[in-house]
Chain A
Amino acid sequence: MSDDKPKTRRPANTAFKQQRLKAWQPLLTPKSVLPTLFILGVIFAPLGAFLWHTSSSVSELVIDYTQCSKASPTLSAPTTSIAALSAPGVTAGPNVQWKYDNNQCTLVFTLPADFPKPVFLYYRLTNFYQNHRRYVKSFDPSQLKGLTVTADTIESNCKPLGKVPGSTNNAVYYPCGLIANSMFNDTISDLVTTGNNPTTYQFSDKGIAWPADASKYVKPANFDYATNVPPPNWVKKYGPAWNASNLPDLSRNERFQVWMRTAGLPNFRKLYGRNDNADLPAGTYQMTIDDNFVVTSFGGTKSVVISTVSFLGGKNPFLGYAYVAVGSVCILLSVIFAARHLYSPRKLGDHTYLSWNHQPPPNSGNN
C-alpha cells in the first residue's frame, strides 16, 4: 500500500475521487426526529388557525340562479336553498328572492353587513369542462392577435369551429374555436338598492383580466367582413354577420379575455366585475341577469358570487384545515414516539440488533 510512501508519488487526490467528501449524515433518532416533528406541529397548527381565520374574514355571497327560469314573474322566495352568505360576525341569511321575466332573472337579497372594498363579482360554473383537451386547444392565437390567418390554419387550430360549414367563400368564425363560442353570455347587472331611493353599486369590467392578457389581443386592422362570421353562440347577441358597428374589440373586452383563460378543473369561478373604490354597504339589493347561458343540458349550475378578498384571496378554508391537520398529526406523532421512546428506549448502536449476532455467518467460526 502506498500509505507511508511520500505523498508526491500519489496522483491528484481529491476528496471527491476518494469518496471522502465532507458530509452530513443525518440519523433518524429520537433526538433528531421527535423535536423536528414537534416543531413542525407547533408551527403548522397555529399557522393553520391563522389561515383559517383569514379565510373566514372574507365576506362572500353565492347565489345559484340555475333554476331561475322556473321562478315566477313576481318576486318570491326560491323553494330550495340557493344562496350562501358568510361574512365576519354575520349569522343572518341573505333572504334571497327571485323572479323570472322576459328571459331575465332578477335576484333580490340582503347584505346584513358591509363588504369592505375591493369587492369582486364572479360567476361560477360547475360541471363545465373547460379543461377538456379538445376544448382547450380550440382557438387560434394569431387570429386573436389580429394577424392574417388562412382559413385552413383556422380550420385546423379551431376544430371543430374553424371554417363555417357550407360556406361558399371559405368563411371562418371570428373568433374561432370552442372556447370563444362558448363564452359566458349572461349579462349581470350592477347592484341597485331596493327601496325609495335607489343607489347603484357599480362593478367595472376593467382590471378583471390578467394584465399580460391584453397583449394577446389586437383588433384586426383590415377586417374582411365577408369571410369572417360570428360564432354560432354569438349570433343572438351580435347578429349573423360582422359589420363595422358590431365588431367587438377583443383587446378591450376583458370578460372575453377572462373566459379565454381556461380553468383547470370543471368547477370554476371567473371574474366578471370589480369595485375597488367603495365598500359595499349593508342593505337590500337587486340584481338582474339576462339569462342566455345554458347549463342545465349538461347538468351544470351557474351562480353569481360577490366576494371580498384577504391577502390569501377569496374564501377558502382548505389551507387552514390542511395546516391544522398536518400540525396536529405532527404533534400527535411526536407524542406517540416520545411515549414509546420513554417506555422502552433503544440504545443507539446496540450490537445485539446486528443480524450476524443472531445468526452467525457460515464461516465465522474460522477465526
Chain B
Amino acid sequence: MTMDLTPGDIVFLKKGDKVPADLVLLSTSYEDGNCFIETSELDGETSLKRRNGLPATMHASTPAQVTQLAGRIQCELPNENLHKFEGVLYVQGADTAVPDGAHSLSSSQLLLRGSFLRNTDYCYGVVVYAGVETKIFKNLKQGGLKFSTMEDKVNTVVSLAFAYNALMLVVSMILGQQRIADVQKASWYLQAAGYVDLDGTASGLLEMFMNAFILYSYTIPVSLFVIIEAVRVIQRQFMVWDDELKSVNGRPMRVNNSNLNEDLSVVEYVFSDKTGTLTRNEMVLVKVCLGDMVTSVAELLGIKQPTDAMRQLWRCILLCNSAIPSTENGEVTYESQSPDEIALLNGIRAHVQLVQRTKNTVRFTELGVPVEVTILAVLEFNSDRKRMTVVVRDETGTVVAYCKGADNIMVPRLRCPATDPALVATTRHLHDFSEQGLRTLVFAAKPLANDAYARFQAQLDDAARALDDRDARVARVADHYERGFDLLGASAIEDRLQDQVPETIEALLASGIRVWLLTGDKTETAVNIGHSCRLVPRDMTILRIDAPTLPDLAEQMARCWDVVAAAAEGGDQLRCALVVTGDALAMALETCPRELLAIATACMSVICARVSPIQKALVVRLVKTELGVTTLSIGDGANDVSMIQEAHIGVGIEGVEGAQAVRAADFAIVEFRALLRLLSVHGRYSLQRLSYLVVYSFYKNISFITIQFLFGFWNIWSGSTNYSAWMMPYWNVLYTFLPPFLYGFLDKDVPESQLRRYPAAYMSARDASPWVWYRLVAWTVSSIWHTIVQWFGMYWLFDGTGALTVSGFTGDVYQYQWLNGITMLLIVTAKIALQSHYWTWITVAGLVISLILYVLTLGVVEGITLSQLSTGGAIDNIPIGTNSAMYATPAYWFVAAVIPVAALLPDLAVAYWQAQFRPDDATVLREEHAQLMARTYPDLAAVEPGMTKKPSLAAVAPAPITIASEGEALKTTALAPLLAPGATAASPPPRLGARAGD
C-alpha cells in the first residue's frame, strides 16, 4: 500500500498505525485537531509528540467531509531535515464555513513517515512526500554492498601472484628461446625431415607462450574465492547457531552480509545508539524517598494505609503531569509525552490511579475512592525550566500548587533552609540514586491562599495576552510564583538497561575499543545512560560542546582543547568524556571537523546527544575517513539506519521497533551484550581463519607451480608437466581443498575461554594475522624452500639413476609425475597441519581424505584405462601399470617420507623458536590454557573438556565478564593458586574450574 501513495493522496490512520508517508495533518478524532505521534524510529525518543491540524481543515473528520476538501499545498522540495517543514496550504472554499485562503504549514502539521499514531483514535492527512522523497528516506544513505577490508589485501596478493606468474612466464620465454637455439634445434629426435619447423617462428613462440601461460596460471588459486565464500557462509552459520548469541527465547542472530565476518575483529570504534540498544526502552519507578525514608515501589503493594506524607506525594505525582489515561478492559493505561511520567504513574498505581483528564478537571481514584479536582493553571515543562507546576483546586476547595523538577532546580525553590533534616536526608538519597544510575525527580507543593491565587492568575493571563515577548513574560510570572514550596519527596526512575550492558561496555573498552554514544535523545538522558552503562564513570570530567552559535562554539572548543593539551603534556590519560549536542555538532562538522575529532579522540568516551540520523552518519564518516580505522555502528531504529550503513560494519538490534535497522545492518543481533562475543570470538576466529586460509591457498599454489618452472630447465621449456595431467586440474578442487576449507571454520588460535578472560586479546587478533610483510615474506620463503627440497629430492632420485624396484624396471615419466604430486601434496598438507592449532576429528579426516583422494583418482584412472585396454580399446597417454606398482616399491615410500620432513623442518624450527622465545599473545594464552586444562582435567590433557558428552551447566554459562574485565586482578588472584609452582593438581581450582568448560 505504501508504494501506491503519491503526493495529494489522503490517508486515514487509526491508533497505532505507522505513518506510511510524510503527511500534512488535516483532522483528527479530537475536535481541536490535535493528535499524538511517537517518533522513536526516527530519533529514538519514546515520548509522544503533539501535532495539530489547521483550523481550516480540522472540521473534516468524516470521509465525506474530507473528500470535499479541495485545495493545494505548496512546500519545500524534499529534504532530509526532520525538524523543519515549511509550506502553504491553499484551501478552496468548497465548504462555505471555511474562508478561502492561504494557511502556513510548519513541522507541527507534519506526520513523518515511520512515526506511529498514538493516543488518537484516528486522523486524516494528505501526502506531501511519498516513497523516496520522504524525510526519513532522505536520511538514508545509499547502502550498497560493503566489502571487507581483507578484500583489498586479497586483491593485493592476487596482483602479486599475477606478477610472479608473469615473471615466471617471461623468464621461461627468454630462457626457452635460448635453449631452443642451443639444444632443441640440435636434437634430431625432436625434428622430422620435411616438417615445417615451428621453433623460433612467431607461431612457435605463441604456442610456447600459451603452454607456459596455461601452466603458470595455477599460481592463482581460482578455487580460493569459492572457498572464501563457503567458509563465510559457515562462519555465518556458526553465529546463527551460537546459543550464547541467542535471545532468551532462542531467537538466533542474523547475518545479512557475511563479507564482513573477519572485520569484526579489527573494530576500533563502536558507535552505539541509546534507546532500544543500550536501554530496554522502558522506564520503571523503582524508589520513592520521603524525607529520610526510602520506599521501594515493590513494597507499596504491602502498604494498605499510606501515610499523609505519602498521600501528598502521590497527589503531586498524579496531578503534576500531562499524561492521559485510557481504560481498556478495566485496566488503566497511560500515555504521555514523557516516559518518566508513565513510569511514575505506573509505580504508584497500587494506591492511586488516574481515571480521566479533561481540559479543566482530573478524576482519579485514591485507595479506591474516586476524587475529582479542578485544574486551574498549568506551567508546562520545558528544557529551560526543567520543572512543571500545576495549580489545582482540590475536593475540599483548597488551592494547591504542585511542582516537580530536577533536584538542582527544585532545591533553591524550597521554603526550608538547606540544613533542614528532611532536605539533607533527601539530598543524600538523591545522590545515592544517581550513583546507581537512576533518574531523579523532586516533588514539592504549596497551598495558595485565594487572594494569592487570584493575583497569580491575573498576572498569568496578562502575560499570556501580551502581544510581544509573550513567552518570556509568562516565564517571569511563573518564576516569581514557583517559590517557597514544601518538599514532598523524590522519586528514582530506572531507565532500564538491557542485560549485561555495563559489563559489555566495560569489556569492549578493555578490549581497546572506543565506544561513542550517538542518540537523538536529550543530553541529560544520554549522560545518565552513559553513567549507568559505565561508559562514563561518575568521577569522570565531562567536557561539553553545546554552544548555539559559532563564536560560542569556537570558544568552547578552545577551552576543551586546553584541557586536552594540558593532559597530553602531563602524559596522562585524559579522564574526560566529551558531550556534544546536535546543533553544535552540525556547526563543528561544517567548520572544524578535525579539531572536534582531535578533542573527541583525546577523550575516553564521547556522547553525541540530540543528533539527527544523518548527523550520526556524518560522525561515523568523520572518524572513518579521518582516522582510517574500522568502525562499527549499532542501533535498533530507523534513525540508526544511516550510521549503520555508513560504518564499515553495521549491527542492528532486533528490538521492538520495526525492522529497518535490522534490514540495513550487516549483522542483526538480539541484544547488545551479544556484540562482545560477536567481536571477540566470532570476529577473531573469522579473521584468523580466513586470512590464513587465503595466505595458505597462495602458498600451496605457488609451491605447486614453482617446481613446474624449475622443471622447465630440464625439458627445454617445452611446457611438459611435472605432475600427472590427470591430477593438475584437481589440485585445487580435490587434493588441497579440504584442509584449508576446514581450517577456515574449525581452527581456533586461542581457546574461547581465554578470549573471555582477556578482553585485551582482541586487539592482538590483527597482530596475529598474516597481513604483515614479514609474514608474507616468510610464507614465500617457505614456499620456495619447499619447492627446492622437492625438486632436488626428485632430481636426485630420478635423473639418470637406475632401477627403483627389485624388478629392475626404471622409473618412467608417470612415476616421476605421480611421486612429484604426492610429495608436494604431503608437503603442503603438513604445512597446514603445522599451522593448525585446533585438531578436531574433522580436521584429521580432511587431511586424510585429501591424500586418499589423490591416491584414489589416479588409481581409478589407471584401473579404468587398464580395463579399457583389455577390452580392445586404445587409450591415450595414460600412466597405466606403473602407478599401482609404486605402492610395492620401498624406494618411493622412503622418498615420500623424507622429502616432506626435510621441507618442513625449517618451518617447524622457526615456528618453535618463535613460540618459545618470541611468543605472541596467542601462544601465551594457548599455553596458559593448556596448563589450566592439565591441572583441572589431568586425564584429558590438551583436549578441551566441555565437549565431553554432557556439557556441564558451567559450559554454557554466560561470559564471566566481570572477571574478564579485570585481567590484571585475575592474574594475581584467581590464577595465582593455579599457577603458583607449589600448587598441586589436587587443590580444588577455585572459579576457573567451573568456567574452564567453555
Name A's B-contacting residues (CB within 8 A). 1-5, 9-11, 13, 15-30, 33, 37, 40, 44, 51, 58, 60, 118, 120, 122, 124, 126-137, 141-142, 144-145, 147, 159-161, 165-166, 178, 181-182, 208-213, 215-216, 232, 261-271, 274, 294, 297-299, 305, 307, 309-316, 318-319, 322-323, 325-326, 329-330, 333, 337, 340-341, 346, 348-351, 353-356, 361-367
Contact = CB atoms under 8 A, between A and B. Distances in A.
Interface string B694-724: 0000000000000000000011101110000
A367 B966 CA distance: 8
A21 B746 contact: yes
21 contacts: A18-B241, A23-B748, A23-B838, A23-B843, A25-B838, A27-B942, A28-B916, A132-B715, A133-B719, A160-B195, A165-B193, A262-B812, A263-B812, A266-B799, A313-B802, A313-B804, A313-B808, A318-B796, A353-B919, A354-B921, A367-B966
The 7 closest A-B pairs by CB, nearest first: A314-B802, A212-B881, A264-B816, A349-B928, A267-B800, A361-B512, A182-B189
A350 B955 CA distance: 26
A264 B183 contact: no
Given A136-B877, A353-B924, A262 B813 contact: yes
B174 interface: no
Nearest to B958: A1
A363 B515 CA distance: 10
Interface of B: 183-184, 186-196, 211, 237-238, 241-244, 246, 248-250, 499, 506, 509-514, 534, 537, 573, 575, 604, 685, 714-716, 718-720, 746, 748, 751-752, 758, 760-761, 763-764, 767, 793, 795-806, 808-817, 837-843, 866, 869-870, 872-877, 880-882, 885, 889-891, 894-895, 898-899, 901-902, 905, 908-909, 911-913, 915-917, 919-921, 923-931, 942-944, 946-948, 951, 953, 955-958, 965-967, 971, 979, 998
A20 B926 contact: no
Contact of A268 (B604, B800, B913, B967): B800
Given A209-B809, A265-B798, A307-B803, 12 more contacts: A29-B916, A30-B916, A142-B874, A145-B874, A265-B714, A312-B891, A314-B801, A348-B928, A361-B512, A362-B512, A364-B509, A365-B573
A265 B575 contact: no
B820 to A, nearest CB: 8
Given A28-B916, A131-B720, A274-B808, A265 B800 contact: yes
Contact of B898 (A11, A27, A129, A326): A326
Contact of A354 (B186, B509, B758, B805): B758
B898 A165 contact: no
Contacts of A29: 915-916, 927
Nearest to A121: B808
A355 B921 contact: yes
B839 A26 contact: yes
Nearest to A294: B188
Nearest to A345: B916
A58 B801 CA distance: 13
A271 B694 CA distance: 47
A341 B912 CA distance: 11
Contact of A133 (B715, B805, B840): B715
A349 B841 contact: no
A178 B189 contact: yes
A21 B841 contact: yes
Contacts of B843: 23
Contacts of B882: 210, 212, 261
B874 A33 contact: no
B758 A44 contact: no
Contact of B767 (A25, A313, A333, A355): A355
Contacts of B188: 182, 294, 297-298
A300 B804 CA distance: 23
Contacts of A367: 506, 509-510, 965-966
Given A9-B250, A133-B715, A361-B763, A20 B806 contact: no
Most chain A C-beta atoms within 10 Å of own C-beta, residue among B806, B812, B838, B840:
B812
Contacts of A263: 810-813, 816
B802 A322 contact: no
Nearest to A132: B718
B403 to A, nearest CB: 39
B680 to A, nearest CB: 13
Contacts of A44: 898, 901
B894 A323 contact: yes
A3 B944 contact: no
A268 B810 contact: yes
